[in-house]
Structure 1
């Protein structure tokens, strides 16, 4: 089976002001070791529900949505029925794609990413409906013109076919630009009611050698909607700063780092700098002032390891003995 790619999940990154609701689908054919249909419901890039063609049931993946399903079980039933309907609809789309591309045999993967993004500051919404086939972009709906676009010449016939389906386009416009933002706001409302897990990190200052960049490292935070940056005299700075990405930990929490170049800064001016960690939903920031005594390092000055002449002689003798033994061993093999 061709490799199932998850690139679509990286297409839209939520910031502190933007929120998203995405439905990521993977449909396979010609294989038996993977469900033919898998659906992931993501909110702000965090999985909140899972469905596949084997279990035929929507499973909650966050504690707040589990509580919601218990309080309103009809929501879980509705979501499962919606997933079953989407499964049938996706199968029809998959068959159309395979037929139009003359690829009815063999193992193939069709993926789609649908959903919306909402900016809670500007109140602007953005919808998306895009497909990939065997790991490559296939076709997507332009939400401005409400027409399908494709980078593949062999998929133009699919574009014309779907452009002609006006009722489908009207449904998509209503779903992704009207209904989806409403669902997203409802999810955020329920998440705030039932409580969203938040974990504050431990923040450390690290340095490999005295001439290396100083790294401010935060680990163990949740969720991944966070920011870590350097300030000077209370103002965020970007010059001399190298900011890393948010990475997952094995326990489900996250970590990130940002490095600062202080090679041209006097030690007495270090206290003018501080590292700031901000976590979405938490008002209090974690602020770490740059001080030499706070920096952790494994580096040890060579001057702290004096090597005496007799020690050098012993080491040399041991090395010669090992080499001599190796030569004898090779000769007798």
Structure 2
């Protein structure tokens, strides 16, 4: 169960640069033939923070934040809405899976159906983007175009369903109302109750890491919030693009985030290192966090030969052990989002 929710959290929305946007997202995942997990799971995210969930086992929505529970207590109609949606999901999802299995001529007993709905609201410009997207067995199936109130079929097998849904104008008008009015209203309510948590700013701890003396130098930032952040390398004040690899923003267990950006220094002489610096930028904070490239502050698990013990025998054994450690290195796993993403209202 926890693994499934974690997987859903990685299918998060992407924010561009420092634009201050807030979001409400409903992730639904239904499965057929998958053992040891509920038939369906629904999670609610506000600004990518898990605030509530329900599944086919409990069938009663549960809040995951104290301030979200306070909102439910003050607005009991929201709880009733979530209970109704949770209970109705079981039969609807089974019907969707059976329909898609026939339509796509899928074989086998294991199938996954996903739906992602919600909206983004820019509290500075007032811009609203809504999204509805369906996926089956990990592939996009249908995407709602808010501008034309029609459906986009990424796969030829989905064209039949697209035409059927395009003709259901009242349903598409309801989606428009929900995405452009009801959803943004809910975002504002959630933000009002959870602003001390959701709108906080936490600065990161920034470190320079290197596996071996010949490896790229990784500028690693952890413990920051929100995730609307950027990292880059600069040389003489100019942003670098070559020999730079930017990692994904990943969640920490405490709700904060981490990210890194690597710089390959294979063609840079030691005398030039002082011209390089790592820059961390986060939404809502004017000043950048700058870390100068300094060999003395780089953290590594490798020890130079001059630090080996003097005794030939002990030095040889310890030297081999240290070599093994250097080969192992310090690995910072990066995951890249392979899940489906929302389409803006202008996407075609």
TM-score (norm. length: structure 2): 0.71
- Are 1:175 and 2:178 an aligned pair? yes
Q: Give the superposition deviation at 1:71.
A: 5.0
Q: What corresponds to 1:49 in structure 2?
A: 52
2:110 and 2:277 mapped to 1: Cα distance? Answer: 54
Please tell me whether the aligned partners of residues 8 and 113 of structure 1 are also in contact (alpha carbons under 8 angstroms).
Answer: no
- Are 1:300 and 2:315 an aligned pair? no
Q: Give the superposition deviation at 1:87.
A: 5.3
Please tell me whether the aligned partners of residues 14 and 20 of structure 1 are also in contact (alpha carbons under 8 angstroms).
Answer: no
Q: What corresponds to 2:121 in structure 1?
A: 118
Q: Give the superposition deviation at 1:165.
A: 1.4
Q: Give the superposition deviation at 1:262.
A: 4.5
Please tell me whether the aligned partners of residues 12 and 48 of structure 2 are also in contact (alpha carbons under 8 angstroms).
Answer: no
2:90 and 2:280 mapped to 1: Cα distance? Answer: 42
1:32 and 1:262 mapped to 2: Cα distance? Answer: 48
Deviation string, structure 1 residues 121-162 (Cα, Å, up to 9, x no partner)? 554332221212233322222223222232444433322322
* The one of 206, 230, 234 aligned to 1:231: 234
Q: What corresponds to 2:15 in structure 1?
A: 14
SS at match of 1:168: helix
Structure 1 residue runs of 5 or longer lacking an equivalent are: 316-333
- Are 1:160 and 2:150 an aligned pair? no
TM-score (norm. length: structure 1): 0.74
1:206 and 1:272 mapped to 2: Cα distance? Answer: 18
1:145 and 1:105 mapped to 2: Cα distance? Answer: 36
* The one of 290, 294, 316 aligned to 1:287: 290
2:112 and 2:290 mapped to 1: Cα distance? Answer: 47
Q: What corresponds to 2:341 in structure 1?
A: none
Structure 2 residue runs of 5 or longer lacking an equivalent are: 318-348
1:198 and 1:43 mapped to 2: Cα distance? Answer: 16
Alignment CA distance shift 1:246-1:169 (3 Å): same
* The one of 102, 111, 125 aligned to 1:108: 111
Please tell me whether the aligned partners of residues 64 and 195 of structure 1 are also in contact (alpha carbons under 8 angstroms).
Answer: no
Q: Give the superposition deviation at 1:169.
A: 1.1
Aligned ranges 1:237-276 → 2 under 5 Å: 237-262=240-265, 270-276=273-279
User: What is the number of residues matched between the two proteins?
Assistant: 311
Q: Give the superposition deviation at 1:311.
A: 4.7
1:28 and 1:210 mapped to 2: Cα distance? Answer: 48
Please tell me whether the aligned partners of residues 67 and 194 of structure 1 are also in contact (alpha carbons under 8 angstroms).
Answer: no
SS at match of 1:56: coil
Q: Give the superposition deviation at 1:168.
A: 0.6
Please tell me whether the aligned partners of residues 277 and 286 of structure 1 are also in contact (alpha carbons under 8 angstroms).
Answer: yes
